[in-house]
């Protein structure tokens, strides 16, 4: 139990060991059936969006390949998505793995959500391999010092329906967050642009992570990961919330709406917008107020 999330489940000793060893853990049954029903109802309503379109403050997006529809800023999608910001099934595990307590990383609080989206993937779609320790990316850097984690980006990927063989499961290369050398197949299996489909199938060392609806995989973004291709009919439905240290900033030009911020409690609001009070000279305050009012609509 932590002072930050006293009602949340802390990582067990085995989860700590496995996260450090493999770069990921699985939390079975993280979501209730009621939560799954509510979240899927939102995705049913938004699945017809085209890239670049908006539904309120949720944005239809793609990373550039044939990886399906991303619903960015999904925490704007209603109460069930707001609940995921600090869900007790995993939030203290994430806090532990991101680390930084008792230091500058907690300047604005324990965590910041860098990005959150739902993804709907149909037959013939996938996402190629990316990340890995060999890249040395500072944004996702993984380190353990004095038996404390310092993982700059930790992702919570939740399955909103069952994901098994042929469903386009998430794939990871266990322990690759500690890799020092490039995988010989990386260039062949990496993400591609121009609506090309790439996937992680056939990558030596990669495994499929099969999940039941409501399960969550928590992983460091420093691990090599991607997905298998969706070969079955229907959709693969997942969501990803990315967490990092409190002083971080989103790579996308999205900002939470004032309506969302007004609904959240102080703890959740701090993870969505750690610096909600912006210092500015008096002549800029009127403009800031106008922008805030426009985003609240």
* Mean pLDDT to the nearest integer, 164-184: 97
Across 193-207, 209-223, 229-243, least confident range: 193-207
The yes-or-no verdict on residue 45 having pLDDT over 70 is: yes
pLDDT in tens, 79-112: 999 999 999 999 999 999 999 998 999 999 999 9
Q: Which of 194, 178, 170, 198 is nearest to 186 (CA)?
A: 198
**Is there a contact between 66 and 168 (Cβ–Cβ < 8 Å)?**
no
pLDDT bucket at 121, cuts 50 / 70 / 90: very high
H or E element in which residue 245 lies: none
Calculate what percentage of the chain has a pLDDT beyond 70.
95
pLDDT bucket at 193, cuts 50 / 70 / 90: confident
Tokens (6 digits) for 164: 């098994």
* Mean pLDDT to the nearest integer, 4-17: 96
Quick one: pLDDT at residue 288? 64
Phi, psi (rounded to 5 degrees) for 156: -115, 110
pTM of structure:
0.94
How many C-beta atoms lie closer than 10 Å to residue 155's C-beta? 24
Put the strands of the sheet holding 170-172 in their side by side order: 207-209, 170-172, 225-227
The yes-or-no verdict on residue 192 having pLDDT over 90 is: no
Residue 241: CA atoms inside 13 Å, Cβ hemisphere, count?
24
The yes-or-no verdict on residue 214 having pLDDT over 60 is: yes
Interstrand relation of 235-244 and 154-159 (parallel, antiparallel or unpaired): antiparallel
Q: For the chain, which residues make up each domain, given as ranges?
A: 13-295
The span from the CA of 236 to the CA of 159, in Å, is 8
pLDDT bucket at 25, cuts 50 / 70 / 90: very high
CATH 2.60.120.620, applies to 13-295: yes
Across 131-135, 205-209, 284-288, least confident range: 284-288
Write a three-state SS string for 68-136. Answer: CEEEECHHHCCHHHHHHHHCCCCHHHHHHHHCCCCCHHHCCCCCEEEEEEEEEEECCCCCCEECCHHHC
Quick one: pLDDT at residue 294? 61
Quick one: pLDDT at residue 285? 62
Cβ-based neighbours of 137, under 8 Å, separated by 6 or more: 131, 222
Quick one: pLDDT at residue 283? 67
* Mean pLDDT to the nearest integer, 182-188: 93
Calculate what percentage of the chain has a pLDDT beyond 90.
81
The span from the CA of 215 to the CA of 163, in Å, is 10
Phi, psi (rounded to 5 degrees) for 176: -75, -10
Cα-atom radius of gyration of the chain, to the nearest Å?
Answer: 19
The span from the CA of 230 to the CA of 164, in Å, is 10
Paired with 15 in beta bridges are none
Residue length of the chain: 297
* Mean pLDDT to the nearest integer, 143-167: 97
Going through the chain in order, the beta strands assigned E by DSSP cover 24-27, 54-55, 58-61, 69-72, 112-122, 142-145, 148-151, 154-159, 170-172, 207-209, 216-220, 225-227, 235-244
pLDDT in tens, 248-293: 989 899 999 999 999 999 999 999 999 877 777 876 766 666 666 6
pLDDT in tens, 106-118: 999 999 999 999 9
How many C-beta atoms lie closer than 10 Å to residue 240's C-beta? 19
**Is there a contact between 220 and 140 (Cβ–Cβ < 8 Å)?**
yes
């Amino acid at each position: 139990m932590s002072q930050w999330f006293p009602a949340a489940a802390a990582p067990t000793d085995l989860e700590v060991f496995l996260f450090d060893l493999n770069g990921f853990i699985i939390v079975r049954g993280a979501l209730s059936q009621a939560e799954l029903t509510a979240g899927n109802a939102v995705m049913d309503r938004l699945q017809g969006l085209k890239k670049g379109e908006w539904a309120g403050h949720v944005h239809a997006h793609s990373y550039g390949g044939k990886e399906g529809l991303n619903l960015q800023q999904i925490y704007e999608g209603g109460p069930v998505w707001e609940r995921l910001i600090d869900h007790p099934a995993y939030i203290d595990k994430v806090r532990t793995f991101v680390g930084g307590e008792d230091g500058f990383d907690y300047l604005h609080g324990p965590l910041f959500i860098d990005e959150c989206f739902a993804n709907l993937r149909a037959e013939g779609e996938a996402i190629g391999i990316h990340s890995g320790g060999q890249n040395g990316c500072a944004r996702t850097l993984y380190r353990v010092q004095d038996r404390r984690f310092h993982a700059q980006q930790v992702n919570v990927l939740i399955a909103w329906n069952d994901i098994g063989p042929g469903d386009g499961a998430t794939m990871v290369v266990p322990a690759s967050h500690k890799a020092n050398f490039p995988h010989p197949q990386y260039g062949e299996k990496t993400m591609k642009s121009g609506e090309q489909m790439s996937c992680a199938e056939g990558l030596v060392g990669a495994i499929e992570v099969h999940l039941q609806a409501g399960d969550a995989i928590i992983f460091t973004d420093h691990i090599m990961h991607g997905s298998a291709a969706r070969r079955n009919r229907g959709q693969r439905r997942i969501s990803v919330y990315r967490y990092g240290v409190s002083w971080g900033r989103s790579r996308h030009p999205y900002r939470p709406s004032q309506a969302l911020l007004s609904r959240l409690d102080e703890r959740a609001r701090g993870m969505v917008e750690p610096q909600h009070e912006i210092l500015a000279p008096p002549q800029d305050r009127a403009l800031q107020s106008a922008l805030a009012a426009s985003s609240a609509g």
